[in-house]
Amino acid sequence: MNSITLGIVGYGEVGKIFAKGLQGKDGIAGICAWDLNFQAAALADTERAHADAHGVQSVQGMADLCERATLIMSAVTASNTLAVAEEAARHLRPGTVFLDLNSASPGTKQQAARALDGAGGRYVEAGVMTSVPPYGIAVPMLLGGSHAETLAQTLTDWGMNARAVAPEIGVASAIKMCRSIMIKGMEALVIESYSTARRYGVESHVLPTFEETFPQIDWERTGAYFFSRVAQHGKRRAEEMRESARTVQEAGFPPLMAAAIAEKHDWVATQAREGAFRDMPSDAPWQAWADRLIERSGKESSS
């Protein structure tokens, strides 16, 4: 791929990190971005100013982005994965590579691939295997699709950690979704277990039993990290878990656990949105996060 214009759909946390990390890489002629916030009255000026300050051209919509870009990276919420792919398919130029970074089920990615490939695009799915911060563009990702090998080499040349795993669409996303069930499930379990233990005043008895069983894990630090990440990104994680539940269902199993994990993340996101963690330092101990949930639980039970 020569003289690439990179287009980013979704100029949120991930979009901003990738745009910053890929600036000035050999072969990238320029970077443009499109995000719904560019049209939101309360956010447009701030978001467009951020893009301009970081050398990113903010465009007017998907059609504008597709007209400029030869490689498009989609970094939106899981629930918008297919809608963004279908919108891009209506506008992209034939031969445009579309890298789908979103956390979606194999079935959703296959639908997206049909839409993009049917429009003459070159769809590549990505399974981003852990949180993008603090890795930045070097976050491990698995690629799938008939163009995955070629794109993986290009991304690797830019300092990204991309590896093609299958020529079929759905393999990379299946790996990602199965991992998410475990990792997001641990987050949900820790929040529920720790908060309940704290409410009963038995945390000093419970946590040592975890340390005895799994001594390689720092349960205090891990607990604080899980609380903070879910409080900050619970809505996005809940959407991802709904796609994980879809993945389980597509495999022919009832998604009992994945669906419950989604509900737990959504519940924490609601508490955060309603101010439960207002002014909470991101490095606060897990006990502080749990106390806020306990305080809200007390208010709800007395109302």
Q: What is the DSSP string of 191-208?
A: HHHHHHHHHHT-HHHHHH
Q: How far apart are CA 164 and CA 92, in angstroms?
A: 24
The reply to whether 189 and 154 lie within a common domain is no
The reply to whether 12 and 161 lie within a common domain is yes
The reply to whether 18 and 154 lie within a common domain is yes
* Interacting residues of 116 by C-beta distance below 8 A, sequence separation 6+: 85, 88, 89, 92, 98, 122, 123
The reply to whether 149 and 250 lie within a common domain is no
The reply to whether 188 and 282 lie within a common domain is yes
The reply to whether 216 and 197 lie within a common domain is yes
Q: How far apart are CA 303 and CA 290, in angstroms?
A: 20
- Choose one of 106, 138, 167: the last residue of a domain: 167
Q: Report pLDDT for 241.
A: 97
The reply to whether 17 and 148 lie within a common domain is yes
Q: Which of 54, 66, 67, 69 is nearest to 15 (CA)?
A: 54
Q: Report pLDDT for 297.
A: 86
The reply to whether 178 and 141 lie within a common domain is no
Question: Which residues does the chain have with pLDDT short of 50?
Answer: 303
Q: How far apart are CA 69 and CA 61, in angstroms?
A: 12
Q: How many CA atoms lie within 13 A of 256 on its CB side?
A: 2
Distance (Å) of CA 287 to CA 124, 196, 226, 266, 290: 42, 11, 12, 20, 5
Taking every pair of C-alpha atoms in the chain, what is the biggest distance, in angstroms?
Answer: 64
Total domain count, the chain: 2
The reply to whether 138 and 191 lie within a common domain is no
The reply to whether 139 and 217 lie within a common domain is no
Helices 286-302 & 219-250 angle (0-180, nearest 10): 70
The reply to whether 23 and 99 lie within a common domain is yes
CA 236 to chain centre: 7
Tell whether omega for the bond before 106 is within 30 degrees of 0, i.e. cis. no
Three-class HEC string of 9-44 = ECCCHHHHHHHHHHCCCCCEEEEEEECHHHHCCCCH
CA 296 to chain centre: 28
Q: How far apart are CA 159 and CA 23, in angstroms?
A: 12
pTM value is 0.92
Q: How far apart are CA 144 and CA 95, in angstroms?
A: 17
- Choose one of 118, 149, 167: the last residue of a domain: 167
- Choose one of 123, 149, 167: the last residue of a domain: 167
The reply to whether 223 and 107 lie within a common domain is no
The domain that contains 226 carries what CATH number? Answer: 1.10.1040.10
Q: Report pLDDT for 102.
A: 97
pLDDT tens digits for range 5-21 = 999 999 999 999 999 99
Strand order of the sheet with strand 57-58?
A: 57-58, 28-34, 4-9, 71-74, 97-100, 122-128, 140-144, 161-166
Domain that holds residue 78: 4-167
Q: Report pLDDT for 3.
A: 87
The domain that contains 27 carries what CATH number? Answer: 3.40.50.720
